[in-house]
Amino acid sequence: MFSRTAFSAVAGQALRPRRNPILSSRFASLQKSFLSTETRNAIDKAVASAPVVLFMKGTPEMPQCGFSRASIQILGLQGVNPQKFTAFNVLEDEDLRQGIKEYSEWPTIPQLYVNKEFIGGTDILMTMHQDGSLAKLLEENDVLVPADESDPSPSS
């Protein structure tokens, strides 16, 4: 039988169990153990496959959710060089779909990586796009279409 000492009472509130930091950290490490070595290695390889990598639902040509569509539109507006970009459709592989969430410790898809660094999901991209920090990040990482290619001058 559980003793009352395992619970703490707060005046006027219901009894709540105390959190055991040792058990909490062990539980957190158990949660992370679901990502197999094989899946982790595959995701490592995918993240390193191009300077700009987007894990999304669908493809850039045919996004399968509004958030994936918005992420592709933002990257297009920013002028990401298609030669430096790749996307992975998480709907094609359930291990990838669940594994990428654990890999990044981010619960939603799409997810953007720039030069192997996790940037965030659509909400983060939108905020960075609006405040100008995404343009700066992409420029610093040299992943934009060169100015002379993106803005063709009229022929004389």
Residues of the chain with pLDDT under 70: 1-33, 149-156
Amino acid at 59: T
In a domain, 22, yes or no: no
Tell me how many domains the chain contains.
1
On whether residue 154 sits in a domain, the answer given is no
Domain containing 85 equals 50-143
Q: Record the tokens describing residue 16, joined without a space.
A: 């709540």
Measured in whole angstroms, the distance separating CA 8 from the mean position of its chain's CA atoms is 38
Is 102 part of any domain? yes
Q: What does the pLDDT read at residue 137?
A: 98
Find the CATH number of the domain harbouring 111.
3.40.30.10
Within a domain: 87: yes
Residue 70: helix, strand or coil by DSSP? helix
pLDDT, tens digit (0-9, with 9 covering 90-100), for 56-74: 999 999 999 999 999 999 9
